[in-house]
């Protein structure tokens, strides 16, 4: 087949003009038990979570990495996981953590992708004052910008739903003082797994709330029974958002079972659930996407990616066409 220059230019222009995720979907909202886009259709965002903004993962909180994930991994969603309680986290070093977060949030907005502002804290109920102050700043700064999604409590560990709910209502009130519409992700009991408990007594009186659901695909305790909890929660009427999942086991390590992972992937596709895979780091563990020493500026080749990294990149590039 002979390809003319005019045909090639037309093809290139078509590629260049493909809408970016936020241009395509616009402002998100919650309708019934689904998160939907401006057309009322579930957008099924798919992307990656940065690791804790501490330790080895901190070095990837920069524009070059966000650009590479957008361009090469084809992400439509980035999760910025701000460490709160550990040494060096927001409680000890708020200025540094705020700078790291705003850097990646602003770059995500520039790139036209959605971004989760994640208060990455297992004990957020103990830090209500600090959380409200942080989200007040975020809501003032990003109110009305459709890219932004607020995740207010990462993986409550042993807290009851009553405790989580009380905390969440206070933070939601703070956000809604400044941002009346952007989606807010509420934490669920027991590491964001017992969404059925949250669904039996959901938060009322606020718009655009979705509940976080986490799993680790190869973990023997995260299989059919856990999917059944999520299905029950959706039947009870709440919307779910898989803000974190990994190909390994719940400790971040263990096996990467491709058959179990495929079951979870198929399940998320069937239910049109948006997700962020854990995580961008070069730590030696199963769920890390990068090999030790991988560049902190992106540009990664196959040899820089772990088996998890290669798999997730392939999935994203296939599904986010």
Q: Classify residue 321 as exposed, middle or buried by CB count within 10 Å of its CB (0-12, 13-18, 19+).
A: exposed
- Among candidate residues 151, 155, 194, 249, the one labeled active-site is 155
Which residue out of 244, 255, 259, 314 is catalytically annotated?
A: 244
CA 269 vs. chain centroid, Å, equals: 16
Local confidence pLDDT in tens for the 321 residues of the chain: 445 544 444 443 444 568 999 999 999 999 999 999 999 999 999 999 999 999 999 999 999 999 999 999 999 999 999 999 999 999 999 999 999 999 999 999 999 999 999 999 999 999 999 999 999 999 999 999 999 999 999 999 999 999 999 999 999 999 999 999 999 999 999 999 999 999 999 999 999 999 999 999 999 999 999 999 999 999 999 999 999 999 999 999 999 999 999 999 999 999 999 999 999 999 999 999 999 999 999 999 999 999 999 999 999 999 998
Q: List CB contacts of 278: < 8 A, sequence separation 6 or more.
A: 49, 51, 244, 245, 246, 252, 287
Question: Max CA-CA distance within the chain?
Answer: 68
For residue 133, CA distances in Å to 85, 174, 176, 179, 186 come to 15, 8, 13, 14, 17
User: What is the enclosing helix (H) or strand (E) of 36?
Assistant: strand 34-36
In the prediction, which pLDDT does 17 show?
A: 64
Per DSSP, the residues of 84-117 read -SSTTSTTT-HHHHHHHHHHHHHHHHHHT-EEEE
**pLDDT value of position 5:** 46
Indicate the domain borders of the chain: 46-319
Q: 244 catalytic, yes or no?
A: yes
Query: How far apart, in whole angstroms, are the C-alpha atoms of residue 146 and residue 165?
Result: 25
Told to judge if 155 belongs to the known catalytic residues of this protein, a careful annotator would answer: yes
pLDDT for 159: 97
The fold of 46-319 is TIM Barrel (3.20.20)
Q: Tell me, what's the pLDDT at 8?
A: 41
pLDDT at 183: 98
Give pLDDT, residue 321. Answer: 83
What number of other Cβ atoms are within 10 A of residue 180's Cβ?
13
């Amino acid at each position: 087949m002979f390809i003319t220059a005019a045909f090639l230019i037309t093809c290139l222009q078509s590629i260049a003009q493909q809408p970016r995720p936020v241009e395509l979907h616009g402002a998100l909202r919650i309708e019934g038990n689904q998160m939907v886009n401006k057309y009322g259709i579930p957008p099924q965002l798919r992307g990656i979570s940065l690791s804790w903004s501490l330790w080895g993962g901190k070095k990837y909180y920069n524009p070059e990495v966000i650009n590479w994930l957008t361009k090469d991994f084809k992400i439509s969603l980035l999760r910025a996981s701000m460490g709160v309680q550990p040494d060096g986290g927001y409680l000890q070093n708020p200025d540094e953590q705020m700078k790291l977060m705003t850097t990646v949030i602003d770059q995500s907005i520039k790139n036209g992708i959605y971004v989760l502002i994640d208060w990455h804290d297992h004990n957020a109920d103990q830090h209500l004052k600090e959380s409200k102050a942080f989200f007040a700043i975020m809501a003032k700064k990003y109110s009305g910008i459709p890219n932004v999604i607020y995740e207010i409590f990462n993986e409550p560990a042993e807290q009851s739903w009553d405790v989580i709910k009380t905390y969440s209502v206070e933070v939601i009130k703070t956000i809604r003082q400044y941002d009346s519409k952007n989606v807010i992700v509420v934490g669920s009991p027991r590491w964001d797994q017992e969404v059925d408990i949250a669904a039996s007594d959901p938060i009322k009186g606020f718009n655009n709330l979705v509940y976080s659901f986490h799993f680790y695909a190869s973990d023997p305790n995260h299989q059919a029974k856990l999917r059944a909890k999520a299905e029950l929660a959706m039947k009870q009427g709440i919307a779910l958002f898989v803000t974190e999942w990994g190909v390994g086991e719940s400790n971040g390590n263990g096996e990467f079972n491709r058959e179990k992972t495929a079951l979870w992937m198929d399940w998320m596709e069937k239910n049109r659930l948006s997700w962020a895979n854990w995580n961008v780091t070069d730590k030696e563990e199963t769920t890390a996407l990068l090999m030790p020493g991988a560049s902190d500026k992106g540009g990664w080749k196959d040899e820089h990616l772990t088996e998890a990294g290669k798999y997730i990149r392939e999935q994203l590039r296939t599904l986010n066409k």
